Structure 1
């Protein structure tokens, strides 16, 4: 499931992040890629050792955790610290699949990468190319969102970033371990949750059908969740 999260960051937050990122040093993105992905990766990233990295990463993580659709769709158990990448002058990232296990650089804890997230920090009119292209059972999808918006998608999907032929594409990216490992079960819970949101708005919290469906949701979550 690919899901668009609108306005994760406000325009003011994006401007402030970009000012700090544009002034920071960028390193070869291939240094953080696996052996296979390294052959396809042509971009730059903010060095996690940079003094500004921890604070900027934390701000993006906090914004995502506040977003109701991120919580509903991902059901995060652990969220890896967001990183930052930059593409320009034809840079790209060819077809690849994200590593299944990664280590939280701040805690040393291993994290299973169930869900990938990209938060766009450049507006679409500021660059050409740079589409995130992800493939799933329903076909191939191209994503290029306004600055401050995000896309979440299964980390197991084959995906790439098209060459940036004009301007600069800057984004934050991260992975989450979900409480619900199975993407089909996670999708069913999300659909049920969105139906409940609509029913609450129409019928009220105390309506019998709303209460019954809420009970179904939590019983399913209890069956499927893996803390």
Structure 2
């Protein structure tokens, strides 16, 4: 299976509550989401915050600020997994009863020809609604596979996945599903190398967290893993 990583609690609950309150206070900020679907227009039935709205920009900036807060364990994990060089502006969607986004694959290049152009190596969906507040609406990744995994994360949780995966949002049968979506250009273009880098960083992090139990072993493993990662980085250039 291609690159798929759930990240629970990527956003702090205070920010999730603030975002939801802001959206409730501006009910007229939503537009037809099919406007940004391109050739997939017929498969997309939802609403989005207008791209040029102040609310959308403020929400996007607030989320990006959290992602760059490396004092937070969750933000550091995102950085380990994505190795981001560019993070696109977040799109915010709302899918009500009957809404869906059928099987599709995101564009390989986002915002082509603009100052915000990026190669979309990774896609990320951040769930903003309490999963108990709506039915359906699962994010299904590799949806062309017989046993495709589906995700319905708690509010603030995210799923990071390879942009070249075919995926969909299952129909919402009750309530409203709100999510923020972005695309990421990684410092590591090769997906195989990116996977190895993420695995190594997670191992290094696990070793450092348990260093007190066996300092000598921890030092040995850290040096070895850093050696492997250093050699890997040389191959990525």
Pairwise same-fold verdict (TM > 0.5): yes
The reply to whether residue 217 of structure 1 matches residue 212 of structure 2 is no
| Partner residue, 1:27 | 31
How far apart are residue 200 of structure 1 and its match?
A: 2.0
d(CA) in 1 for partners of 2:132, 2:112 = 34
| Partner residue, 1:70 | 78
Q: Alignment partner for residue 108 of structure 1, among 79, 100, 115?
A: 115
Aligned length, in residue pairs? 223
TM-score (norm. length: structure 2)? 0.88
What SS does structure 1 have at the residue aligned with 2:188? coil
How far apart are residue 50 of structure 1 and its match?
A: 1.3
Which range is displaced more, 75-84 or 135-144? 135-144
Contact 1:81 1:104 in 2 (8 A): no
Gapped regions of structure 1 (runs ≥ 5): none
How far apart are residue 139 of structure 1 and its match?
A: 4.4
d(CA) in 2 for partners of 1:138, 1:218 = 38
Matches within 5 A, 1:158-197: 158-197=166-205
Contact 1:135 1:141 in 2 (8 A): yes
Q: Alignment partner for residue 87 of structure 1, among 95, 102, 127?
A: 95
Q: Alignment partner for residue 52 of structure 2, among 40, 45, 49?
A: 49
Which range is displaced more, 210-219 or 124-133? 210-219
d(CA) in 2 for partners of 1:193, 1:183 = 15
Which contiguous aligned blocks of 4+ residues in structure 1 show a shift greater than 4 angstroms? 136-139
Output the aligned Cα RMSD.
2.0
Contact 1:34 1:99 in 2 (8 A): no
Contact 1:80 1:104 in 2 (8 A): no
The reply to whether residue 59 of structure 1 matches residue 56 of structure 2 is no
| Partner residue, 2:137 | 130
How far apart are residue 138 of structure 1 and its match?
A: 9.5
| Partner residue, 1:200 | 208
How far apart are residue 9 of structure 1 and its match?
A: 1.4
Which range is displaced more, 96-105 or 117-126? 96-105
The reply to whether residue 151 of structure 1 matches residue 125 of structure 2 is no
